[in-house]
Structure 1
């Protein structure tokens, strides 16, 4: 084998190894089964969306749960002074331990992961209730009508995840939905289903199977597509199914942070409109009684004028 061919094989091997490691690292930061968090959709600007999401979530999380407390890196000036007084071996071991501890990954309250779909980011949450946080954010935006983001579209909490196969979803939801729909609990509901980068699930079949499951939990549970008390959100991305049960889904414009801050359009008053229309017609078309009176008055005026003219002619002729 020539030297040129040998160099070519080495370069190809290096590229393969480099690509393999980068892919494996990226995979460790992807949405996976067992996680909880928030799905956030945007429009063509995921980096800015992520920054806005962190600002918005931290602002309201600080109000609900208090500021995030991070572990301080071990080691300080006083520790260094003590280390100088210790034996060299002890100081070296202590320093190595400190470096290992400081290099350990801290679990942040919010962590951005690759969702597996374009224009969708997943914010993993730790030690908080994502559905409660998102509802609090939308409630405040709906009340204040204050716009706090430019590229974020929808914020959907994810309180449960499972494999995105119909059998797995039904099995998981059997237990997951009990707090809201199992006897004696009951509610009106709707199912909001969407699949991204997944073709093995048919929308109608999934919705039908979930509705049948909810009916088995309590026959009093009824579907309401206009103004349901609860909405079952099912978001499938690749092989992961993200699930949550939320309130006020219709009121908060399907959890769209851009739409929820808009002023509600006033509904037309049908009764007032009909009354105004009748009034206008009455003004344009007087009733028959008034018309007869006006006609009689015109006839009387004509008779008086004719009598006066005849009287004037008679006086003239007499002279």
Structure 2
């Protein structure tokens, strides 16, 4: 009799070893799938390779801390426990709270299935304002505060990665920045980044966003020091859109770069030579000469 063939189950490669699953091709609702939907907002975090989960929790903790400063100490508090809650439910709730980040349900890390990128869903914050607030404070205090997180990219909204949905979302998100009432001309640039998606053309995305920004306005593209930078990140089937201010002065919203620049500036200022002290007798001599010349009449000065 021949050997029974295994039906279904996991696919096997050569040597009977289990074939690896490509995390970029798994279905959305399968283990390791893509858990990000349209109409979400939050912060896209880049991080050290292989440390996505640690970076996600680290980012949630930092966001929760600054949200309390920006929106008030009650922002990240969890609802009070129910008086009628059973002992078993209370224990289960406490165990769940120990396992989740300090930010609770208001900051939820979602894996993107992409190396070095984590999305923090945060539906109750203003992402552009929050990221600018955090990075400005880290720059002032010259503190790093993170071990694995690199960049904080504000995401005002997400949409499906097709041009129609992206244009609809962009019109809505960019209006407060570029199409407000009595809008003054400003400067901007667009930085697109596309991962694991071959349907969205980079040039087409830039042209579409630029046309929305410039619709009836006199805004000017500035690639060196723009007031606003539009960040369009496409990962798989989702587009993440955000707007950043002071992008260049805040080192492209890179926490590590901000910290290194602050440390370098601090080292330069501390190593600057102190002004040489002038001997006391020399000072008195110069003061005497100045007083004598002040007492001279114009004729005496001329005769000298």
Q: What is the alpha-carbon root mean square deviation over aligned residues?
A: 3.3
Given the superposition, is the C-alpha separation of residues 233 and 73 from structure 1 closer, same or farther in structure 2, using an over 3 Å criterion?
same
Total equivalences in the alignment: 238
- Is 1:71 paired with 2:63? no
How many angstroms does 1:162 deviate by?
A: 1.3
CA distance in 1, matches of 2:208, 2:188: 14
CA distance in 1, matches of 2:216, 2:142: 38
Number of the residue aligned with 1:196: 195
- Structural mapping, 1:1-319, within 5 Å: 8-9=6-7, 12=8, 24=29, 26=31, 30-44=35-49, 45-65=51-71, 66-67=73-74, 68-75=76-83, 108-182=105-179, 184-185=182-183, 186-218=185-217, 220-263=218-261
How many angstroms does 1:27 deviate by?
A: 6.5
CA distance in 2, matches of 1:159, 1:23: 22
Which runs of 5 or more structure 1 residues have no equivalent in the other structure? 81-94, 267-319
CA distance in 2, matches of 1:211, 1:200: 19
CA distance in 2, matches of 1:53, 1:134: 11
How many angstroms does 1:25 deviate by?
A: 5.6
Given the superposition, is the C-alpha separation of residues 72 and 26 from structure 1 closer, same or farther in structure 2, using an over 3 Å criterion?
farther
**Residue by residue, what CA displacement relative to the aligned partner does 1:162-193 show, whole Å, maximum 9, x if unpaired?**
12122322232123211111153232101111
Number of the residue aligned with 1:314: none
Which runs of 5 or more structure 2 residues have no equivalent in the other structure? 12-20, 22-26, 98-103, 266-304
Given the superposition, is the C-alpha separation of residues 201 and 29 from structure 1 closer, same or farther in structure 2, using an over 3 Å criterion?
closer
**Residue by residue, what CA displacement relative to the aligned partner does 1:224-260 show, whole Å, maximum 9, x if unpaired?**
1111111111011111111111211111011001111
How many angstroms does 1:24 deviate by?
A: 2.6
**Residue by residue, what CA displacement relative to the aligned partner does 1:127-163 show, whole Å, maximum 9, x if unpaired?**
2222221111100011111121122110001111112
Could you say which structure has the higher helix fraction?
1
Runs of 4+ deviating beyond 6 Å: none
**Worse-superposed segment, 46-55 or 243-252:** 46-55
Q: TM-score, normalised by structure 2?
A: 0.68
Given the superposition, is the C-alpha separation of residues 160 and 134 from structure 1 closer, same or farther in structure 2, using an over 3 Å criterion?
same
CA distance in 2, matches of 1:239, 1:188: 30
**Residue by residue, what CA displacement relative to the aligned partner does 1:76-124 show, whole Å, maximum 9, x if unpaired?**
59x88xxxxxxxxxxxxxx9xx79x979x99711001122321100110
Greater C-alpha radius of gyration:
1
3-state SS of 1:108 partner: helix
3-state SS of 1:122 partner: strand
- Asked whether the equivalents of residues 30 and 116 of structure 1 are also in contact (C-alpha less than 8 Å), the reply is no
